[in-house]
Amino acid sequence: MFKTVLLLGHVRGIRIELHVSWLIIFTLFLVGMSAGLQQQYPDWPLSTAVLAALATALTFFASIVAHELGHSLVAIRRGIPVRAITLFIFGGVAQMSRDSDRPDDEFWIAIAGPLVSFSLAAGFGVLSLLTAGWHEALHVALTWLAFINLVVAVFNLIPGFPLDGGRVFRALVWKATGDARKGMDAAVMGGRVVAYALFAVALLNILVLGNWVGGLWITLIAWFLLNMAEGQGRAFDMRERLGSVRARDLASGDIPRVTAEQTLSRWVSEQVLPSGERACLVGEPRRPLGLVSLSDARAVPQDQWEITPVSQVMTPLEALVTVKPDTPAHEVLHLMTERNLNQVPVMDDGRVSGWIDRHRLMRTLELHMEVGR
């Protein structure tokens, strides 16, 4: 299978990942900048231009990671775990495990990124001044890095979702009104205004300036921002409406199970096919051993099914994704979507107390949304 995300490493337990789309922007940037430098400084040898562009691109990329680490480290200090920082075609994103509960947290987490970018801009600015008469290529690269970090900081402070400024705006409205809902609505509205303004800029570029490439690129960014803003608004709605629904309300007490010694062939023909349950707990709910699913079985050639016990292909308990009875519904849903899970056992004190199946979950959530509780 083609992997779309490359792992670069860990910082304080946070995965630093690169989405393949980022390679496109990196290549475009490298080629564009090398060509630009060659044109502007025709006396530079090609190697100097390419090397300067490469060093600048890599440092810029490190600056974006630093910006996201700014958000992440403040989030962690405020008790919100961060799973990963992913760099992709439009920049970087820190994946936090949940939304802030307090406007102060939201404010400081959001502002930390732009503050890091402003500091980097200032630092590169000073270095650029220091190297001015000494090394031309280094000076040019540092000046550019100072400028681009300033652009990143300022652009991100535009007050609309999903930009950092949108989150700052949300926190301020939330704090002023004491109402999380009003903060969210303001930030989503801000996001729409930003996106439509960008659409207008894009149109201007295409129709008036004849700049097709720039115009299409801005359209793409505007479209992306609009989608993200609307998406965050919807996610908030859902969290609010499902606020009191917990994993235990979504789980069925009817836990499909199979003994560890059962063969794949009997499990499939006697349980999966008649019941329609694609996965099953292995062992007793009081002493679960793992979970076996149809995809585990399919990984084994069918002529081996007669002699392969389910325990041999199951996901063992320690590797299993489980939830607690009081895990909020929106977290369960997020987990299942993100990890592409069809079922999640509810674990209570080492024993399985319930079973959440994706189809049942969707039906139950719809009902909860419909009755509003």
Q: What does the binding site for Zn ion look like in residue numbers (CB under 5 A)?
A: 113, 164
Nearer to Zn ion, 113 or 190 (CB): 113
124-127-132 Cα angle (round to 5): 120
Report the distance separating Cα 15 and Cα 9, nearest Å: 6
Write out the two tokens for 359.
Answer: 């189809």
Shortest distance, CB of residue 167 to Zn ion, whole angstroms? Answer: 8
Q: Where are the alpha helices (DSSP H) in the chain?
A: 21-40, 46-77, 103-130, 136-156, 164-177, 180-207, 212-241, 247-250, 264-267, 273-275, 294-298, 310-313, 329-338, 358-371
Q: Which two tokens stand for residue 314?
A: 């199951």
CA dist., res. 208 & res. 264, Å (int): 66
User: Of all residues in this chain, which one has the CB nearest to Zn ion in the complex?
Assistant: 113
- Cβ-based nearer residue to Zn ion, 17 or 164: 164
Q: Between residues 122 and 362, which has the closer beta carbon with respect to Zn ion? A: 122
In whole angstroms, how close is the CB of 66 to Zn ion at the nearest point? Answer: 11
Q: Which is nearer to Zn ion, 113 or 283 (CB)?
A: 113
Q: How far is the CB of 204 from Zn ion (least distance, A)?
A: 27
- Please, what is the minimum distance in Å from the beta carbon of residue 211 to Zn ion? 27
Q: How far is the CB of 313 from Zn ion (least distance, A)?
A: 43
Phi and psi at 328, nearest 5°, equal: -60, 145
DSSP string, 254-301: ---EE-TT-BHHHHIIIIIHHH---EEEEEETTEEEEEEEHHHHHTS-
Q: Output 225 or 245, the one with its CB closest to Zn ion.
A: 225
CA distance 58 to 56: 6
Amino acid at position 356, single letter: I
Output 105 or 164, the one with its CB closest to Zn ion: 164
Residue placing its CB nearer to Zn ion in the complex, 113 or 288: 113
Closest separation between CB of residue 149 and Zn ion, Å?
12
Nearest to 172 by CA among 94, 163, 182: 182
Shortest distance in whole angstroms from residue 164 CB to Zn ion: 4
Q: Smallest gap, in angstroms, from Cβ of residue 101 to Zn ion? A: 20
Burial of 292-312, coded b for 16+ CB within 10 Å and e otherwise, reads bbbebbeeeeeeebeebbbbe
Nearer to Zn ion, 98 or 368 (CB): 98
